[in-house]
Amino acid sequence: MLFDPNTPYASDILISNLFNNIMRDDDINMNAHYPYKANTECNQEVLEECYRITWQLLARRSKIKEFRRILMKIALRRKALFEEQEFYKEIRAQFKHMRFGCCNFDRRHTYPWQLHFVTCQMGFLQDAFRNGQHFKTFRKALLLWSVLHPLLFRLVLKRLADFKPATPEEFKNFQKNELNKIIDVLNFDQKVTGHQFHSLRKIISRRTAYVDTLRVIRKDKELDALSTFLATINGLMGDMHDEIVLNDIRGDSDYYKEQFSLPNEIKLRLTVLVESESLTQKTV
C-alpha cells in the first residue's frame, strides 16, 4: 500500500507542538545533561508517523504566498527587517526539518534535489542579509521567490510524498553510522575545516530533529531532557559556524581549507553523547 502523508490527518495541536519544538532546537542550556533513561527506540508505525507529521508541518504551515511576498520585499530593499528575519527563520526551520525527516526516516536516507536546492538557497540568503551582502541578498531572494512558486511547491510536496520508509533496523544502523563519524573525529582528535564542522553539526541537527518529532508522538520527560541536551550542542555548534562563515566572508579564513580543533565545550558534550549512546546500543 502506498504511503499517504495526509492520513491520518494530525491535529493542529500536534503540528503546533512540533513547530514549537523545532523553533527551540538550538536553544543553549549549559546545565543540560544527557538523560540515561531516555528511550529513543521505535517501531515501524512510529517511524512512519514521524515522517507523516513532518510532511504535514511543511504542507500546512509553510505560508508560501506570504513568504514569497516577504522575499520580494527583501530583494527590492536588499536587506531584511527584524520581523522579516523572524518569519524567515520559521519557514526555513520547517524546510530544514523536512530535509532532516527525509534523511532520518526514508530508507534511502537522502532527500529530493528540489528540497535540498531550496533549503540550501535559504541558508545562503540568510548568511547574505545577516552579513550585509546587499547584492547577494538581492540575487538569492529573487531566486527563492522564483523557485517557490505555489505550483512548483506543490510538485515538491508530491515528490516528498514518494516516501520509502526505513525499517527500525535500517534506521538504527543509519544512526549508528552517523555516530561513528563523530567518534572518528573525537578518537583521533582530528582538526576540521568549516565545511567538515558543518557536516558534524548536521548529524546533531538530524538527531535533534528526530527526538523533537518523537516526543510529540510519545510524551516523555526523558525525551524532553534529551532534546534540551542535543539542542545545546546544536546551538553551540551553530553559533560557532556563524562565526566561521563570517570570517570566511571577511577573508580572515578559508571555509574549506583552514583547520581547527573542536572547542572543549563542544568536544566534551559530543564525547558524552557518543559514549552514552554507544553504551545504550550495547545494552539494547
pLDDT beneath 50: ranges in the chain: 283-284
SS3 letters across the chain: CCCCCCCCCCCHHHHHHHHHHHCCCCCCCCCCCCCCCCCCCCCHHHHHHHHHHHHHHHHHHCCHHHHHHHHHHHHHHCCCCHHHHHHHHHHHHHHHHHHHHHHHHECCCCCCHHHHHHHHHHHHHHHHHHCCCHHHHHHHHHHHHHHCCHHHHHHHHHHHCCCCECCHHHHHHHHHHHHHHHHHHHHCCCCECHHHHHHHHHHHHHHHHHHHHHHHHCCCHHHHHHHHHHHHHHHHHHHHHHHHHHHHHHCCCCCCCCCECCCHHHHHHHHHHHHHHHHHHHHC
What is the CB-side half-sphere exposure of residue 202 using CA atoms within 13 A?
15
- Domain extent listing, the chain: 41-160, 177-283
Q: How many CB atoms lie within 10 A of CB 194?
A: 22
pTM given for the model: 0.94
CA distance 207 to 209: 5
Radius of gyration (Cα) for the chain, nearest Å?
19
CB 226 within 8 A of CB 204: no
- Rounded Cα distance between 125 and 143, Å, is 10
| Identity of residue 83 | E
* pLDDT at residue 284, rounded to an integer: 47
